[in-house]
Structure 1
């Protein structure tokens, strides 16, 4: 009985804590965004903008309690940063309508999708880094922020040099500044710089076209996802044919971004396979191969080979993979081709052939992929040696 009482008491304490807000708000933290920008401009500082949910978000509470309310953090951070807290509590009774409206607008502008999100911006509100909860307390977080502030310095130096450069050199410097940053804000706040790089490098000698096109497409991707997610949810109870109809309508969109199209292709294939409509799946794969650009052809053929193996046609699938390897030259694709070939051969208990395939994958892999493939090779070789030992 006493154990149950203690458990109930603990449960009440947890519930009370979860319902209570943990605010960073002190004199160091501002809530009026425009005033914060003016202060940052006057003091030549960057801004730290904390998007938080003070009375419901567990990680927000931890970040506030462990870091943002600590004197050690406040003393160090305010030397270089103006601190801004934008709160989205469940209980909004303490917030004015103006403050709520400001916060909602900023959430949309900065494409905030999770809490806590911590942005570092310059005095004009242009973001250059994003982060969130980090373990280690105030000292570790200050070190982390110093690393993020260095990104602004790289950005500014590269962009300043780019203003004095022309042609491909200007494109290279702009790309250098852009690549120092990483975050969903790039498509909103740096679209001009990205477009300029692509304009100055029409032959893609810097190799940034695909990456930067995807960034520029992020806004359009969001629109497509919202449009078709709603429709798919509406027809989800009407059966596979209704879902397939919506997927086909989505795939008929000629201006759908490439990365999103691949997701819709995978979804359609998965549904057809789940419904055991293998002939339809293969026919659809043939369509994707015919319609694919030269750049995407290899990926489409690889997808077909994987499905062919799932249908039990092992030798046909291996032949398809060999044909792709003979036709394609791109390392990233060849890694996937040989990796999938190795997986198939390993599953078919053809260890020596599998080892050869994984070794081929390793030749085309980057450092990170080599570590993964190396581990697989070590296990395969050990297992193969064990089976050969009399």
Structure 2
């Protein structure tokens, strides 16, 4: 599971196959300290979730595919107290205080992205992270990951207990083995933004070093870890300095700073991260010509890593479309589809990217064709099929082919009956002057979103208000039409 986005991003991701309906699933507690108290009293661990409902696509996927499953709730509630920290904040003083608390917990728990799950004991000490979510991860896969983490914690605790009866090097050895048992579950410094063992188990590491007088193989392991952390911090310090430019939205200043940093930084991984950061600043500053040239410059380099190559190819396509060089953008993606050959996963990613880039930019008939090609390569009911079907319906409506759009929307609704698609169906029915059917669909949508009104999640309350306004607007459009002119 590797798909997550930074919790500091303020952008809103348009959710298509996954839309917001009233959440079921665990009985989430939204106060960390209260969650800890309950965990202690019930002798359970904490299942601590950092999430972003309404703007984080993979958070919604994880919620619907895993957390809302009854088997998950039944299995996990025996062992965990569920705490949800949802990174959606209002502008009231209370909301500002809540954001401050959540940001402090985010920093303490080294959770830079969403979704991130931290498994902790009742004292709040982490023993495993489940980072991101990939829709190929089944419920059983997820439960297996938790089981593996629990086994590591059990081993940790047994070794800590054994160490309590020992002293000197023998105690240090047992403490070190205890840390070794959970270290693979904590992630690495690149994922966490700090070395997890040195951050969460600082006292244990210091005790090991004291017990060994900072000499020998056990001590050397942690001395080496400290040195690696120091080097990593030095290499990545540039990204901390960029936070100032981000806060000021000074993209020109940020680009200048990146260019100066690239002259001195030798670490290749950091260099390519900086190159991608520079690319982002160019695009955020609407410098699409320069951004396109930057992509093409980097793609011409022989030493570009493969993952960076794919990322910059995507940015090249993005900037072609932003510059309204539509035919070049389409040709770019089509060539990559040919290059992908029979690689199904790669082809589906490319189709997905293509239809998002073409939507509302390319000539509508070309967009319809791209959506149909995408859909033809998918299996009905899968996320890719839902994505392709959703965009196909949008493009058919854009072309005012409402009968065809309605047929496609009904296929979607047969697989996933969500409020957004009901509203899309109503819009096409209104265009076809089938007002009674439209009214029935709008009533169903209104009923479907009603639980959102009293949700403890701010994002769901906001969603309720947005969808209610859309329902009211569509209802008025029928009423206005029925009034004699």
Displacement after TM superposition at 1:220 (Å): 5.2
1:156-198 Cα distance to aligned partner (Å, 9 max, x none): 1112222222222112111111112233432322111112222
Displacement after TM superposition at 1:200 (Å): 2.6
- Measured in 2, the distance between the counterparts of 1:69 and 1:239 equals 43
- Measured in 2, the distance between the counterparts of 1:116 and 1:265 equals 24
- Measured in 2, the distance between the counterparts of 1:208 and 1:142 equals 32
Higher RCO (CA < 8 A, seq sep 6+): 2
Match of 1:195 in 2: 206
Match of 2:399 in 1: none
Indicate if the aligned counterparts of 1:28 and 1:83 stay in contact, CA closer than 8 A: yes
The answer on 1:205 being equivalent to 2:217 is yes
In the TM superposition, 1:222-237 aligns within 5 A as: 224-226=237-239, 234=253, 237=256
RMSD: 4.0
Indicate if the aligned counterparts of 1:235 and 1:243 stay in contact, CA closer than 8 A: no
Match of 2:197 in 1: 186
The answer on 1:62 being equivalent to 2:74 is no
The answer on 1:87 being equivalent to 2:99 is no
Structure 2 unaligned blocks of 5 or more: 1-12, 187-191, 246-251, 276-302, 304-485
Kindly tell me: are residues 218 and 21 of structure 1, through their superposed partners in 2, closer, same or farther at Cα, counting changes over 3 Å? farther
1:291-333 Cα distance to aligned partner (Å, 9 max, x none): xxxxxxxxxxxxxxxxxxx9xxxxxxxxxxxxxxxxxxxxxxx
- Measured in 2, the distance between the counterparts of 1:151 and 1:32 equals 27
- Measured in 1, the distance between the counterparts of 2:47 and 2:70 equals 16
Helix, strand or coil at the partner of 2:209: helix
Displacement after TM superposition at 1:139 (Å): 2.9
Structure 1 unaligned blocks of 5 or more: 1-13, 248-261, 272-309, 311-390
1:258-286 Cα distance to aligned partner (Å, 9 max, x none): xxxx739996xxx9xxxxxxxxxxxxxxx
Displacement after TM superposition at 1:105 (Å): 1.9
- Measured in 1, the distance between the counterparts of 2:149 and 2:156 equals 11
Displacement after TM superposition at 1:99 (Å): 3.4
1:333-367 Cα distance to aligned partner (Å, 9 max, x none): xxxxxxxxxxxxxxxxxxxxxxxxxxxxxxxxxxx
Helix, strand or coil at the partner of 1:193: helix
Kindly tell me: are residues 188 and 266 of structure 1, through their superposed partners in 2, closer, same or farther at Cα, counting changes over 3 Å? closer
TM-score by length of 1: 0.52
- Measured in 1, the distance between the counterparts of 2:223 and 2:23 equals 41
In the TM superposition, 1:312-323 aligns within 5 A as: none
Indicate if the aligned counterparts of 2:26 and 2:67 stay in contact, CA closer than 8 A: no
Helix, strand or coil at the partner of 2:144: helix
Kindly tell me: are residues 214 and 159 of structure 1, through their superposed partners in 2, closer, same or farther at Cα, counting changes over 3 Å? farther
Kindly tell me: are residues 70 and 238 of structure 1, through their superposed partners in 2, closer, same or farther at Cα, counting changes over 3 Å? closer
Helix, strand or coil at the partner of 2:182: coil
Kindly tell me: are residues 266 and 77 of structure 1, through their superposed partners in 2, closer, same or farther at Cα, counting changes over 3 Å? closer
Indicate if the aligned counterparts of 1:30 and 1:84 stay in contact, CA closer than 8 A: yes
Kindly tell me: are residues 24 and 149 of structure 1, through their superposed partners in 2, closer, same or farther at Cα, counting changes over 3 Å? farther
- Measured in 2, the distance between the counterparts of 1:87 and 1:239 equals 32
Worse-superposed segment, 141-150 or 71-80: 141-150
Indicate if the aligned counterparts of 2:205 and 2:222 stay in contact, CA closer than 8 A: no
Kindly tell me: are residues 22 and 118 of structure 1, through their superposed partners in 2, closer, same or farther at Cα, counting changes over 3 Å? farther
The answer on 1:72 being equivalent to 2:84 is no
Kindly tell me: are residues 140 and 230 of structure 1, through their superposed partners in 2, closer, same or farther at Cα, counting changes over 3 Å? closer
1:75-127 Cα distance to aligned partner (Å, 9 max, x none): 1100011111111137789x844433332221121121111111000111111
Indicate if the aligned counterparts of 1:29 and 1:84 stay in contact, CA closer than 8 A: yes
In the TM superposition, 1:108-257 aligns within 5 A as: 108-132=107-131, 133=133, 135-182=136-183, 183=186, 184=192, 185-201=196-212, 202-206=214-218, 207-214=220-227, 217=230, 221=234, 224-226=237-239, 234=253, 237=256, 243=261
Indicate if the aligned counterparts of 1:37 and 1:124 stay in contact, CA closer than 8 A: yes
How many residues are aligned here?
Answer: 242
Helix, strand or coil at the partner of 2:216: coil
TM-score by length of 2: 0.43
Helix, strand or coil at the partner of 1:181: helix
